[in-house]
Amino acid sequence: MNITNKTILVTGGGSGIGYATAKLLSEKGNKVIISGRNEEKLQKAANELGINYIVGDVTDVNAVKNLVGKLEANYSDLSILVNNAGLGFVYKLGEGANAVDKARQEFETNYFAPVRLIEALLPLLKKQPEAAIVNLTSNVAFHPLVVLPTYSDAKTALHSHSVTLRLTLSSDTNIKVFEVMPSLINTDATKDMGGEQHGLPPEVAAEDIYNGVAEDRYEIFVGEAGQQYTDYLADPKAAVAKFNQGLY
């Protein structure tokens, strides 16, 4: 897929993978818009990158309607949606874990929000001669991590949705659906997971996203995720045990 002179929305674009991806896409000659909840962070990022931003909480129905309305009014040539916004809690399941409340928040951000935004933007994306949806899941989408239990659940759900959406849209639209599965990336959100010590720079993920979409690789693995997926397919039980070694 050609990724030049495209109009692109990156959710959660104020920092981390979203910021790095927005930066690279802009440098490649695209018109990039970032969105997120924190206007101060978005404004700072947008000023640094020389791009535009729209404030909006993707978990809020009315905010999404407002976001879509602004895109339709000002960016009617939008052709790529990057669903990057995410939320995860580091904890273990068990008595007193409050897993239901954590899961609700994680599913709202990591699953329901992208599903809602995709559906709302489909009419706009369908108008373009070439379009794409890029969903960021995780290596925990194919094997769970015991210290990210309900985050793993939510990313697994988005993985399944991405597969179904890809097959559905391939029958009668020009919209391609990509899934990005990163291993640990060093961002503000991964500090509690050892991201600073063991995570890859977000720029690595951005490069892989750009190259993967350009090469029409619908499943894009970042860092160790590709080998982890291969190991999982070969021996799921052993791969999950290795992935969680020392954590349970």
The residues carrying an active-site annotation are 151
Q: Is 162 left (phi over 0), alpha (psi -120 to 50) or beta?
A: alpha
- Integer Cα distance of 113 and 58 in angstroms: 5
Neighbours of 61 (CB within 10 A): 12
Find out whether 75 and 33 touch, Cβ atoms under 8 Å: yes
Whole-number Cα distances in Å, 54 to 46, 82, 119, 123, 228: 10, 14, 19, 20, 36
- Integer Cα distance of 204 and 213 in angstroms: 14
End-to-end CA distance of the chain: 43
For residue 204, give the nearest of 31, 24, 46, 5 by alpha carbon: 24
Structure tokens at 92: 């273990």
- Integer Cα distance of 231 and 172 in angstroms: 35
Q: Which residues pair with 216 in a beta bridge?
A: none
Give the type of residue at 79: S
- Integer Cα distance of 158 and 152 in angstroms: 10
Give the type of residue at 4: T
